[in-house]
Each structure stands twice: as C-alpha cells, then as structure tokens.
Structure 1
C-alpha cells in the first residue's frame, strides 16, 4: 500500500522538476517563458530594422503592388546607388568618421584621466565637484545650447571640427560626464595595493596610471569608446549647429546630417540631366537610412562579444 501511494508523488515531482526545474537545471516551462519573452522583445527591436531592409530593396512597382508585403519581387540595388549619389556617400562617410572619431578618442583619454583623479585622490571640494558633474549630466542640452553657440562664436571655432575637439579635450565633450563616472567607478575597483607597490618601485603618479590602472581598464575603455562614437555619430542637431553650419555653410557634413536633408539633396541630384534617378519614394528613403546606420551595425557586429563582456565588467546597462 505504501508503495502504491508513493508512485503518484514521484510522478508529480518529476513533472514539477520538468517544468519548473531544480537547483542544478532549468525547467522546460521556465525556459519556454524566458525564451518567449526574449523573442517578443527582440522582435520589437528588430521589426523596424527588418522592415527598413525589406523596403530598401523594393522597386517602385512593389511599393504600389499590395500583394507584395515583405519579400521584394526583385532585389533593386539601384535604390542604394541613387541614395549614395545624393548623400555623396564616401566623402560624407569619411567626414563622419573624423567628426565622430577624433572627439571620441579625446573623450577616452581625458575622461580616463579625470576619472582616475576622482577615484584615487582625496582633495578639498571633491564631493562638490562630483555633485556638479552629476548635475551637469542631468541638465538638458537645450539649456546650454545657445550659450555654447555664443561662446563658440566668440572663440571663432564655429563651422569647424574645433567646436567638437576643444570641448572634448577639456572634458566637456558630448556625454563626457557619464564617461568620467564610468572610469571613476571602474578605477575604484582597482586594488590600492597595486598602485602602492608601483610607487614603492619608483613609479610616479602618471606612470602608475599608465602602467597599472589603464591596462586593467580595457573594458571601461571599450564601453566609453563605443558609447561615445555612437552618440557623436547619431547627433544631428548639435553637429549641424556647431560643425556643419546652421547659419553659414561649412565644408563638413555627416551621414546623419545628410539624411536630414536627404529629400532636398535627392531632388537636386535628380534634376541633373542624365542622372537616371527616379522620383523620391519610400524605398530610396529607407536605402538612405540604411546607409547612415550601416557602419554602426557593422562595428557592433564585429565588437559585440567584447562589448557585452565589457558591460558586464563595468556594470553599465546601456541606454
């Protein structure tokens, strides 16, 4: 009788472990729910990108044909050719790399030095400076936009790359406050014994920073580099205001700024005799958008593993 009573209990335990899992193994039901949520969240993020890719390869006939939804009847590459012509892609791409890359490198160098100073040295007014740093990050960019414009105009650095380089060199670049805090939190985790040991061996303050602290900060450097270059790359309004010239014309431009003026530039390019360009449609707009974000997608695809590991080590969740 006792054996017959235990059989249903054993069966229920097996079912419970199968669906809910145990301490050593995840259950089927729990994993199903987790993967279902991840698929749903992933679909929400991937749907606009997949829609954009699909539309960018469609000819005009597919756009007018209601039976064509996702898969184009033919992959029409000329949409990208026309979009690249109107955006002057290769020249604008090179300028985008310079405009985003140089301030990013300065952000990494300067913010790491400032973050190390906050993390390793105690001085009068340190807490007040950290409070001002946090407050300046919370302060909306729209509040300081016009004063900065007047200041840059007085310094005669408007409509040039110096409008981004000079603030970044002084630790006031785009989102520099959060980069300083990233380095600050990371350098606090470096064992003080290592720094003291280097000082005993005769290393000064700068050599201890370069030889001991900086090599261990590779995850923080990668996170700051990627965040900074993405923010500079995607920033269109401030780039157009300070570098590309909102009032007077400048020789500088970026892919994102060109995308903002895509309709006008495409119309101008299409009016050239013998250009072979058709009227602007949704597919060409999607092609231009894909061209503007493609470098970032490639960069993230190449560095995604290192990026995720760096986020895990620095404790940053992203934005």
Structure 2
C-alpha cells in the first residue's frame, strides 16, 4: 500500500469520524422523539428508543398550534430570504459597478456596522416599531433582514470580479441598467446570492429573540418560540420540545440537501478559481 493511499484513507477516516461526531446531537434528537417518558428517565443518554411511540408527536400538536406557527416561520423566513437576496444584490451591484466620490468611505461605514451587536439595537428598534404600530406584526421580523453589511460584502466580492467588458458589451447592445443587472450581474453572482439567501433563511427560521420581543399573539408566533412554551413548571417534559426541535430541523435539512449543496459547492469552486 502506497503512502498516498494510506494518507487518503486516514483523511477519509478522520472526515467520517468528524461527520459522525457532529451528527450525534441530531441522531440523539431523532431517537428521543420516539422514546417514551419512562425510557428517557431510565436511560437519558441512550438515543435508541426501546419502545418506539408516536405519543410525543401527538402531544406536540395538542400543546401548541404547530402547523400555524410552522407556516408563520416559513412565511417569515422565505420573505427574509427573498428580500435579502434582492436588497443586498442591488447595493452590492452599486458598490461594484460604479465609481463615485466617497465610495470607499461609504463602504467602510457600511462594513463597520458589523461591529455593532444586534442586541444593542433591540430597544431602539422596539420603540421605533411601537411608534409605527408594527408590534405583533411580521414587519419587524422581515424588513430588517433585507439589508446586511456582511451580505453586501459577500456579494460585492463576487460582482467585483466580473469583467467590466461584459457590462460595456451589454450597454452597446442597448441593455438598460436594470437589464444589465438582471442579465449579467445576477447570473454570474448567483453562487454568492444563493448562499446569502440560504443563510438568511436559516437565521430567520432559527431566530428566537426577535419573535419573542415583537410578537404577542400565539397564532402569530413562530415555531422557535412555540416550542419553548411547552414545558409545564409542575412536570418537566423532555421529549415533546425535542420532538418539536426535530421537526423544526427537517425543513432546513431538506433545503440544504436540495438547494444548498448546489450553491455552496459552486461558491467554493468559484472562490477557488478566482483565488
């Protein structure tokens, strides 16, 4: 056996071990979802259900309006994802396409906002949305996600690498600025735009703090908040919240498996070629 083959086997073994290590929490969550309460108390570290049951799923649907909160989360996450792709792509296009006075200073100011913790803006945002009458609506959860400094930076880095000759050829052919943006900038930057959309979908889908602060009605809550309200102070319930977390993870896994793999791989390959 050659040294190269041994090295490859060692690398694959290490990757398999790391993949299994990172998968253990999810596998444990799946197993506990089908365990009875007695089995969880008797062997809490054993993820294998000795007496499989669907009672946890039935109890979950009885305790909270699961499907209402599920579709609330889907609607908010999809809206945030679409707005983030459109808004950040437009701003990134402006920074990469045009040269104007103060461009570098303005871009530096935009990037500097990354240093501001999101928790510092919660109180001012709450006061502002309250004055606008937006509390207990989806607007405070959707609109702030339309623009983000880190997303602008990611898309701009890809758009900057697009040859200017392509833009000039489009203008010679009579394309308007919007047509140039949609026909050249967006398709050639789709890897970064797709990644931005996926990341914003996952951030919105898993967001707990914002819905907890800005929403008050149970039928408007998202699943992340609804799951946290299931515990009874007089009887600790372990399985039902974990079952909810398992069901909540399924859409993200499907999205990453079907769509995310394409954009992440193309984004990495694009970055490697540009590097």
TM-score in terms of structure 1 length = 0.78
Report what 2:144 is aligned to: 167
1:121–1:159 CA distance, 2 compared to 1 (3 A): same
1:34–1:198 CA distance, 2 compared to 1 (3 A): same
In 2, distance between residues paired with 1:64 and 1:73?
Answer: 12
In 2, distance between residues paired with 1:91 and 1:208?
Answer: 41
Contact 2:228 2:241 in 1 (8 A): no
In 2, distance between residues paired with 1:118 and 1:68?
Answer: 52
1:185 aligns with 2:157: yes
Matching residue within 144, 147, 167 for 1:195? 167
In 2, distance between residues paired with 1:68 and 1:77?
Answer: 20
1:70 Cα deviation (Å)? 3.3
1:217-251 per-residue CA deviation (whole Å, 9 max, x = no partner) reads 22122111110100011111012212x13xxx464
In 2, distance between residues paired with 1:285 and 1:166?
Answer: 29
1:254–1:66 CA distance, 2 compared to 1 (3 A): closer
Correspondence 1:94-243 to 2 at 5 A: 94-169=71-146, 171=147, 176-242=148-214
CA RMSD of aligned residues (A): 2.3
In 2, distance between residues paired with 1:168 and 1:96?
Answer: 14
Report what 1:289 is aligned to: 245
TM-score in terms of structure 2 length = 0.90
1:238-296 per-residue CA deviation (whole Å, 9 max, x = no partner) reads 12212x13xxx4641111111222215x98xxxxxxxxxxx653222321211222211
Contact 1:104 1:229 in 2 (8 A): yes
> What SS does the aligned partner of 1:262 have?
coil
Structure 1 residues not aligned, in runs of 5+: 1-14, 20-26, 268-278
Structure 2 residues not aligned, in runs of 5+: none
Give the structure with higher Rg (CA): 1
